[in-house]
Chains A and B, each alone.
Chain A
Amino acid sequence: MQDFSYVNAQTLSEAVALLDENGEKARILAGGTDLIVNVREARRDVDLMIDVKSIPEVNVLDYDANTGLTLGAAVECYKIYAVDAICDAYPGLIDATKIIGGTAIQGRAGVGGNLCNASPAADCIPPLIVLNATCVIAGPNGERELPVEQFCTAPGQTALEKGEMLVSLKIPAPASNSSSFYLRFIPRNEMDIAVVGAGASVTLDDAKQTIVSARIALAAVAPTPLFAQDASASLVGREVSEAAIDDAAEAAQAIARPISDMRGTAEQRTHLVGVLTRRALNGAIQRIRD
């Protein structure tokens, strides 16, 4: 491990200026549960760590039943699932925050960091995609917004330009008769990274029989988490049925382009996309009906 400098940035503009000055070898430090491990294991070369935990904007956790959720990029997982209203509104996101690491890691790690780490297998990203989250990004030229499904560009790579950082995530208020669900497959019951992850959000009609809208997203089956657009669209207007869900699962499998590695084989992953998509959709529907 090589020496690096550390700055505890107090404002967004300070952090952005430091990022702009130092380029690639400057990294944002929030929870540090990925960054510090990567530096220690020599997987990432860092000259400057910019700690953003003192910046007010990245610590915002604000939920309003009409306007939705603003989730600061450095808010730790445990703070999110401690708020009952957020748990009720976005159960799919809560599913993810509760399975990232153990309790100790959830005390440090946050959803924003999980997104910026841009792992194809990140548990938080499919729920953000199915919940229509928007990234609020600060940079040398001011703020901009980006749909979360466009944020990751390759393993470990994001749409952030030089000098840019993630400030917060905005998630719209949930529609009535809607819910969300996330699950992953791991060979053990803990301590693993997703072999495949699947998230779903579903909105039903007032009779809770017909699907008004749905979104499906997948993890660990492509270089970035995927929004399964066709699979999602295939459900709109259909009665809740095994056939409708099987069709969506099949459409989701069609966009998976997984690799074989030490966590699973490509065939296994493609198969699991079908299984998990069904389970995620059924899970979300069950939550609406309960």
Chain B
Amino acid sequence: MSDLLSFWATQLPALLRGMRISLQVTGMALAIGIPLGLIAALAVQSPSRLIRLPALAVVEVGRGAPALILLQFAYFGLPSAGIQLSAMMAAIAALSWTTCAYTSEIIRAGLQAVARGQQEAATALGFSRLDELRFVIVPQGMRVAAPALLGFAILMLQATSLCFTIALPELLSQAYQIGTITFRYMDTLMLAALLYAAICIPATVLVAAIERRLDRHTA
């Protein structure tokens, strides 16, 4: 037991370095993907086909193809089209796409949950369509979507472990590396699992609490 703990203590710094990268990729993917998700959510509701169809394609492919394929498409595929991305950039690009696709659905549901009277009131006051979205519909819809978006953020952190396959030195890659050197796969992977759990479990509890709070406020 003390042997395991001392092993963990030696390997922890490397895993924490990996975790920092995992968190960075998560943060970037969300920061880029959620605004794109909002745009996609609005675009798929556009009456213009020229806007709606490309948006639908982006969303459907982003949701339909495994994130792992998107990652490898960005890292191994794009170079054959002359676009060379670093592992970090490829990870951010692919996971932003996934984020955009999934959050667009979450946000669309949020926007649709905004009471019809809100839009009517904005219209009756003479708001332009853009002002109506900006001041009335989007702020309320995003509030409805917030808990689901937070839940998705947790899944996104987990999804960064897929970046193992494109040699990004994130948490799982670090653990695997240590495993190949020390042959103590079980011990390192357990520590990695604990680190994921240490973030995801409190985050899940927090999201549930926020959800209850929001429920109470709207009720």
Question: Is B one of A's binding partners?
Answer: no
